[in-house]
Structure 1
Amino acid sequence: MRVSMSLRVGAVKVVGNRPRCVEMRWQSGAVTTPAEPTTAPRAPARTGGRITSLDVVRGLMLVVSVAVNSLVVTPPWFEHAEWEGVHGLDLVFPVFVTLTGCGLGFAMHRRTEVGGLARRVLVLLAVGLLYNALVANPWSAATWRYPGVLQLYAGVVLVLALGHLLTRSARGWFAIALVLALVWTGVLAWFATTCPGGELTRACNPSGVVDPAVFGAAHVYGGGQPGHDPEGLPAVLGACVSAAAGACVGHLLLSARSRGRGTRAATAPVLAAAAAFALLAGLTAAVPGLLTGHEVPAMKRLWTPPFALAVAAAVAVVLLAGHLLLDSRRTPALLRRAVWPLEALGRNSLLVYFGSHVVAALVLHRAAPDVLERLHSAQWQTTAVAVLAWTALAALLHRLRVYLRP
């Protein structure tokens, strides 16, 4: 049995004109005299712990996502745009991907576990195929869709992880986002020159050529009939633009925190990054038209750079607002408690986002028509129940510290 005893003896010593308290500690027979501090050191600015704002912003996005998934009938003005343009539903997954880039920037700012990377990517690919089987044409090998949201997400995770082997700085990730945006813009502008009228259409676009050639026409979105795949290989490049921009913002927030200057130190760099993303969005939309006469429109179906960068700019501003409001040491405890359910949702964003998609798809595809009619007639109640149920699950898992990681 080990017994530890301690005794403190205080004395006062005069140094110059000021008294100084000298503390001597005796422990197990050893006497130590501390160094010469004359005053108590100031507490350093908070540099550790999680950045709450990211989880809360993800939680807000998930409330929207779960609510949208609960809709029996999506209004046409909110439904995915058929081709060009952006509707409300077009923003949900790109916002999720941009926030994922920010979160992966936090997670990988010191090191990247190469060993676990392959396992994560393979798991995401396998679960994505299972998801397609459950919600589309179950277990039909002839028409089983190969691309999908989880497969695209796996591609994003892979690119972000490999990118962190090259750089772990905000400047580096801004450069990666810039290069990816310029490459994808160049590809789209060049492809438009091969299309009738010089415009990207459903009948003439990179996805309509690449994805059926790689996977087979029967194994892509709508059996190849729509003429493109919104989660196919070309779309991965556009999604990586969003994720790389998110990683840039994440590293800017981390850099400001590591300098110990408080949350306000992130204001100027994050606003500068948001302005740069917005400027690049405009340039990637306008310059191809000026140089070649073939414009690259902002659209989700091909995840074009003007679309990806505009979303990243908006997400950066929202994240900064959340950071200033929630990550300060002066943030009221009442406010922290108020946003705790959103934080719980954000901590399990992968589970809630894709889990709510699976549940909603199974209900909408398998429920009897009379059940769907009742759900639609009580749409507000259905949506409220869905949001509360997923929030309760996330809160329980957060209490138990159980999280689903990519």
Structure 2
Amino acid sequence: MQQTVNKEIAKSRIYSLDILRGVVIILCVFLTAIPKGDYEYHFAHHADWYGITLIDFILPAFITMIGTSMAIGYKKGVNWLKLSKRTFLFILYGLIFTMIISWNLDFATLRFTGVLQLFAIIGVLTAIITRITQSPLKIMIIALFITSLYGGFVISFSEGCSESLPQPTCNPSQPIDSFIFGENHLYHQGKPGYDPEGLLVSLSALSNSLIGFAMGRILLNRKTGTVWKQLFIYGSIIVIFAFIWKEFLPFNKKIWTPSFSLLTAGATCLSLSFLYLIYDHFQISKQTSLLNPINFFLEGFGRNSFFNLFREFYP
């Protein structure tokens, strides 16, 4: 009986999603291993403010795939009790981890924000919003609306900034997050002028999760045989919108501008389209044994991504 259940689970898994998560984790491990002072490898270091590098894709890609996994895991409905428990634990673990890596038990200066807290907030908001509709197209439209609303607010706030663009010391993140959490409880106690995992950024990063959720809904219809085409079309459209937004707000991970959110989500969608075509549509891994060692390695990281990833993104 147990063997039958295991076979059904294995059959229902989307191999390409595990592989993509594995690729993201491997990139994370190797890129973060490059010394920060080695500027010859600029792609391995986060952009100082405007711009985007390879490592900047890691966190938003993972958030996008969290949305994808939620769509698959919640296909029969949300267990709100389990979701509430997971949210509480994510926030608790995030606070504990912050104390460990900063070696600081002073609650007066404990950072309340962080990557795991970001995951927790986005997870709850995604679950709530996707109760409205399960249509991939409508969910993506909602994601575009949210990131555009955020972008409009940032542009309006930044009219008095240099070049009328957000700057490290002139952007809405610092005053809003300081008001909510208190300056001493932000990233570097608010001294950089922004919080890369603050509440304001979380609202923008929500677009990544929603687009990922839409991707998951598309994957659930894989019997149609056109999944990879749908992912490719949606991913291409999202990337086009990213470059449209770039004309108003350049790529910026620190405050998660709409162009950054859409480019990273679109790139994740296109990558999944390519991998789905290879691994789930043509099932190339079953036709050749040459890739088995690589696939085994990537799949192992992809299925156990949480413990390999979350420590990498704390400043």
TM-score (norm 1): 0.70
Q: Which residue of 2 aligns with 1:312?
A: 265
Greater helix proportion: 2
Q: CA deviation at 1:335?
A: 5.8
87, 103, 112: which is aligned to 2:69? 103
Q: CA deviation at 1:308?
A: 0.8
1:70 pairs with 2:29:
no
| Alpha-carbon spacing, 1:269–1:144, altered in 2? closer, same or farther (3 Å) | same
Q: CA deviation at 1:119?
A: 0.9
Q: CA deviation at 1:196?
A: 4.9
128, 152, 157: which is aligned to 1:162? 128
Q: CA deviation at 1:139?
A: 0.7
1:227 match: secondary structure? coil
Q: CA deviation at 1:356?
A: 5.5
Q: Could you report, residue by residue, the CA deviation over 1:17-65 in whole angstroms, capped at 9, with x for unpaired residues?
A: xxxxxxxxxxxxxxxxxxxxxxxxxxxxxx9511110011100110111
Q: Is the 8 A contact 2:301 2:308 kept in 1?
A: yes
Q: Could you report, residue by residue, the CA deviation over 1:124-151 in whole angstroms, capped at 9, with x for unpaired residues?
A: 0010111111112421222211111111
Report runs of 4+ in structure 1 exceeding 4 Å deviation.
355-358
Q: Could you report, residue by residue, the CA deviation over 1:343-401 in whole angstroms, capped at 9, with x for unpaired residues?
A: 1211111121125668xx8xxxxxxxxxxxxxxxxxxxxxxxxxxxxxxxxxxxxxxxx
198, 205, 216: which is aligned to 1:239? 205
How many residues end up aligned between the 2 structures? Answer: 300
Q: Distance in 2 between matches of 1:353 and 1:266?
A: 28
Q: Which residue of 2 aligns with 1:285?
A: 246
1:309 match: secondary structure? helix
Q: Distance in 2 between matches of 1:83 and 1:337?
A: 40
Q: Which residue of 2 aligns with 1:331?
A: 284
Q: Which residue of 2 aligns with 1:195?
A: 161
1:344 pairs with 2:304:
no
Q: Which residue of 2 aligns with 1:61?
A: 24
TM-score (norm 2): 0.89
| Alpha-carbon spacing, 1:280–1:329, altered in 2? closer, same or farther (3 Å) | closer
1:278 match: secondary structure? helix
| Alpha-carbon spacing, 1:342–1:196, altered in 2? closer, same or farther (3 Å) | closer
Q: CA deviation at 1:172?
A: 2.6
Q: Could you report, residue by residue, the CA deviation over 1:62-92 in whole angstroms, capped at 9, with x for unpaired residues?
A: 0111223334445331322221111232221
Amino acid at match of 1:269: Q
Q: Percent identity?
A: 28
Amino acid at match of 2:95: L
Q: Distance in 2 between matches of 1:331 and 1:204?
A: 51
Q: Distance in 1 between matches of 2:155 and 2:216?
A: 30
Amino acid at match of 1:240: L
Q: CA deviation at 1:102?
A: 1.4
Q: Distance in 2 between matches of 1:332 and 1:231?
A: 38
Amino acid at match of 1:66: V
Larger Rg belongs to: 1
Q: CA deviation at 1:276?
A: 1.4
Structure 1 stretches lacking a partner, 5+ long: 1-46, 287-294, 362-406
Structure 2 stretches lacking a partner, 5+ long: 1-9
1:276 pairs with 2:242:
no
Q: CA deviation at 1:197?
A: 4.3
Q: Which residue of 1 aligns with 2:176?
A: 210
